[in-house]
Structure 1
């Protein structure tokens, strides 16, 4: 059933945080349905309307927030008080504001890392995890994304050689973060355009044929400013810390489903194996295709959500 035909709630709210951020939140489904929190990737991407299609409108209540500075949240693209600690506090504030006792959490890529951190920090708030194409926030993961021989070539060229003296991917991220925040408008636009080309190459997408509007180009600047900010700092998490969090989650017996594309070039399949070792009871599902939540992966997400058996708390 198309989400536009849902005989249910489809509402948008703005959640104001104590420190001056305003989160855009979309809700879909029945108010009495099983509550699910959706954590988007990026960082900085925002929730897409297609994410609501993973849920059964007669059974679920889907909550889709844009994280700080991302999507329609404001102030857009800001790095001010934008840390993983703040993101986790926002999610807990949102849960309490909506009157939800416990919810399932589904996250993809960066959203999977944030979901693990949230379930570890607030164990009583989470009833199940569905993690797609998990990103483990290690420098080796970043290196695999942006290396001189691969997709990162576009990013390297866009900083005019200023990163040559820095070690590998971290140096490029350092320069990109600086320029996306303090550079001229032309420098910011060039970095964002190069980053998008690198991203499209990794995802196997064709370059955009249409000329982007000014608003679209500036939205990319804000998106990649956030992404560089988090990737350079390993999101304040790091792979070792995230795997320790996964092990604690595993020890509690929380229902966990791991979905990973067999041809995922963005978040390597070995990430799923590392998480599976840390959470031995987790159900690991290999899905044909790459990193994006489309096609078979979108079907697998819907099936995993429906199959998750947990006590509803509303």
Structure 2
């Protein structure tokens, strides 16, 4: 089994101005002359951390990580202004151009897989390969499954804590009810419902309960950004047309890709990855037994690291 690479310090840190009021925090680590790879974090609103660059061999890859609008070290924090999928796709192109990168590998998990597909379909000539984990296509059925009815039947105890801040008469549309409170002017209310929203995700992200993981989702700052930004996106179906990412797979069918998905992923069920793989002839699907949604479960982390080596070998032998 491959373990994550040791923590690494960035060799360059950038603050990039994009559409007002946003300033992105971007880091480069690994080999400055290596194969460029872009890491796209989840959420939306999850931000990067010290583990984000640890899937890549730093002697092979030039690793670019950035905090998407409104989260991590990007500013303003938890901002919903000018914050859509297509704003983020535009930001990725800004980063690529400013770092003088012609083409790169794109690596994304959960929401990061959504964004990676949207970016690749909009800029297919810039993507050398895709490594995607925990496929999320941001369709209304997927949002309903996790935030309204579906996963609730598997975790009724955790579900009860999730819906606790919402009055019974508003529970027929929980995303709307949370959004109303997450955009309230009362910061106390915002934080209360943010912890309920984010805590639900944290408690269901791994197959085997792991308090070290779930507790991080209750940290006030992280919870607020994730809950506000996720709910904002899901209220608008991430500004995607129904089934858009699957319908547009012909645009990127030629791009080599690896899909890694936990068999027991409750947040993003396996059929998302199955449907994507069926429409992507140049993809390899790795279904990981004894794994849920987290990138850091042992089998999933191993498969992702293997994928980074395989993609690098495939690409570097072409040039």
Name the counterpart of 1:262.
Answer: 263
Mapping 1:29-68, distance limit 5 Å: 29-68=30-69
Distance in 2 separating the partners of 1:12 and 1:234: 32
TM score, norm. by length of structure 1: 0.89
Q: Which residue of the partner structure matches residue 306 of structure 1?
A: 309
Q: Distance in 1 between matches of 2:145 and 2:181?
A: 22
CA contact (8 A) 1:107 1:115 kept: yes
Aligned to 2:7: 3
Aligned to 1:117: 118
1:280 deviates by 2.2
**CA contact 2:265–2:293 (8 Å) conserved in 1:** yes
What is the correspondence of 1:64-213 to structure 2 with a 5 Å cutoff? 64-147=65-148, 149-150=152-153, 151-164=158-171, 166=172, 171-204=173-206, 205-206=209-210
The alpha-carbon deviation at position 298 of structure 1 amounts to 1.2
Provide the secondary structure at the position in 1 that maps to 2:183.
Answer: helix
Farther off after superposition, 223-232 or 150-159: 150-159
Alignment deviations for residues 252-288 of structure 1 (CA, whole Å, 9 cap, x no partner): x110111111111111000111101111231111113
> Contact 1:163–1:172 (CA<8 Å) still a contact in 2?
yes
1:34/1:312 contact within 8 Å kept: no
Note the alpha carbon deviations across 1:168-187, whole angstroms, 9 max, x for none: xxx21112112111252221
Secondary structure of 1:49's counterpart equals coil
Give ranges in structure 1 of 5+ residues lacking alignment: none
Q: What are the superposed Cα offsets for residues 3-58 of structure 1, whole Å, 9 maximum, x if unpaired?
A: 34x7xx53221111143310111211111000000000111000122121111111
Select between 46-55 and 199-208 the one with higher mean Cα deviation: 199-208
1:282-311: CA deviations, max 9, x gaps? 111111311101122111111101111226
Q: 5 Å matches for 1:209-248?
A: 216-248=219-251
Structure 2 spans left out of the alignment, 5+ residues: none
Q: 1:24 and 2:32 equivalent?
A: no
1:292 aligns with 2:294: yes
Note if contact 2:203-2:214 (Cα within 8 Å) is conserved in structure 1. Answer: no
Q: Following superposition, which runs of at least 4 residues in structure 1 exceed 4 angstroms of deviation?
A: 206-212
Q: Take 2:126 and 2:77, find their aligned partners in 1: how far apart are those partners?
A: 28
TM-score by length of 2: 0.87
Cα distance in 1, alignment partners of residues 70 and 215 from structure 2 = 25
Does structure 2 conserve the Cα–Cα contact (< 8 Å) formed by 1:156 and 1:163? no
How much does 1:188 deviate? 1.1
Contact 1:200 1:206 in 2 (8 A): no
C-alpha change, 1:219 and 1:284, in structure 2 (3 Å) is: closer
Give the Cα–Cα distance (whole angstroms) in 2 for the partners of residues 188 and 312 of structure 1.
51
